[in-house]
Amino acid sequence: MIYNKSYRSFDTIKTRLTIDEFKAKEIARRFLEQYHSIIVSDVLLEDDVWTVSAKTGLMPKDVKKVMIDAETGRILGYS
C-alpha cells in the first residue's frame, strides 16, 4: 500500500474507502475472467485507486492490470 502524505495514517485511509483489497481483487477477477483464465498476482493502492495485476496466460509476460476506484468499486481502466 502506498502511504499518501496528506493523511495521518493507513487507518484513516482504510476507514474512508469502501472497497478493500479483497473486494478489489474480486472485482478485477470477475472482470478479467470474462475474457481470460487468470491468477491475481499483485494488488496496490495508490491515490484511492486499486491496481490489480493478474497473469492471464501461459507466458509470464501475459499480465493485465485493472484500475478500480477505491470508494465506488468502479473499473477506471484496463491494460
pLDDT digits (tens, 9 = 90+) for 9-64: 445 455 677 889 999 999 999 999 887 888 888 999 999 999 999 988 777 778 99
Q: Which residues does 68 contact at the CB level (< 8 Å), separation at least 6?
A: 19, 24, 27, 28, 49, 50, 51, 52, 74, 75, 76
- DSSP-assigned beta bridge partners for residue 43: 52
pLDDT at 71 over 90: yes
DSSP states of 8-64: S-HHHHHHH-S--HHHHHHHHHHHHTTTS--EEEEEEEETTEEEEEEE-SSSTT-EE
Domain residue limits at 68: 10-78
Q: What is the CATH number of the domain that holds 15?
A: 3.10.450.630
Count: domains in the chain: 1
Establish if 22 belongs to a structural domain: yes
Predicted local confidence at residue 53, as pLDDT: 94
The pLDDT assigned to 14 comes to 53
